[in-house]
A = this chain, B = another copy of it.
Amino acid sequence: MSNSKTPLLDMYRTMLTIRRFEERCNYLFMQGRIPSTLHLYIGQEAVATGVCAHLRPDDYLLSTHRPHGHAIAKGVAPRAIMAELFAKSTGCCKAKGGSMHVGDVNVGMFPAIAIVGANIPIAAGVGLAARRLGTDRVAVCFFGDGAANEGAFHEGLNMAAIWDLPVVYVCENNLYAASTPFPLAFKIENVADRAAAYGMPGVVVDGNDVEAVYQVAGEAIDRARQGEGPTLIECKTYRLCGHSRSDPRTYRSQEEETAWAAKDPIPRLAERLKEKGLATDETLTAIEQEVTALIDEAVAFAEESPPPEPTDALKHVF
């Protein structure tokens, strides 16, 4: 876990892929080429990336209504996600799921769960299976600050704790649950402070600093893998976009948005890479082009894919 081994450039590529993927989604959505609603992850890319950089394809991930970033970081093919958003039969859920339920079990990501907090006890069960089946797999469960006020959070964390399950709980505290600011819903400073209520370690980390996230997540994932039980990690971050589709964000101040825009994790990492001599402007431009090509391809794939048959609705109930 020493910084010298940190795959910073890979993480940059992942973060940029997530960012460009979502910007494209937003554009396509505004154009009416993607139906439904979207919860974008723009601004929080360092969290998914720093955590998932430690995961093997056979490790598990449980996600939320805001899952695109998690999916890309865990290795779900962007084209399969894009096709799902386009409601095409080639989508990662065969167009049964949609934006809020993307996933691909072949790379360890279950369909995302859009009931806030409901993935938390499920992750405990996944961890239980990983252990009982004699593997050293780990389950990572992402959720927002808002989710920490659900009963499911409480029951799930306690069960993971008492049974020392190999689960890492990652709370992405982006300061808002939809329009609700954190202090309106909590009388405490940090979600991670709740870990003590379960006898579980809790850590707060700057969620816009991918190196910091990587460090903290690595320790927690190691602990889990070695049978030492779960951790609650709180990543302080901010979404640099609306809660869902055309949210005007009038519940946030201009100053706050500007202050956080200055902490955007992607330029911040770009600087670090250059500082450390791990990349030049040219490297970064090359990555940018690579990512654009990937996303162009994903969109082309999605557009060319056939829609499902109406009667496909009847399949896959059991």
Contacts and interface: CB of A to CB of B under 8 A. Distances in A.
Which of A153, A154, A155, A193 has most B Cβ within 10 Å? A154
A282 B198 CA distance: 50
A135 interface: no
A315 to B, nearest CB: 34
A154 B158 CA distance: 11
Interface in A122-171: 149-155, 158, 161-162
B152 A151 contact: yes
26 contacts: A149-B154, A149-B155, A150-B151, A150-B154, A150-B155, A151-B151, A151-B152, A151-B153, A151-B154, A151-B155, A153-B154, A154-B155, A158-B185, A158-B186, A162-B186, A162-B187, A186-B199, A187-B200, A188-B196, A188-B197, A188-B198, A188-B199, A194-B197, A196-B196, A196-B197, A197-B197
Interface string A191-209: 0011011111000000000
A184 interface: yes
A199 B193 CA distance: 10
Contacts of A158: 149, 185-187
Nearest to A152: B151
Interface of A: 149-155, 158, 161-162, 184-188, 193-194, 196-200
A167 to B, nearest CB: 14
Contacts of A162: 184-187
Contacts of A152: 151
Given A158-B186, A187-B198, 5 more contacts: A158-B185, A158-B187, A161-B187, A187-B199, A194-B197
A153 B153 CA distance: 11
A4 B31 CA distance: 77
Contacts of A155: 149-151, 154
A161 to B, nearest CB: 5
Contacts of A194: 197
A197 B158 CA distance: 13
A30 B314 CA distance: 56
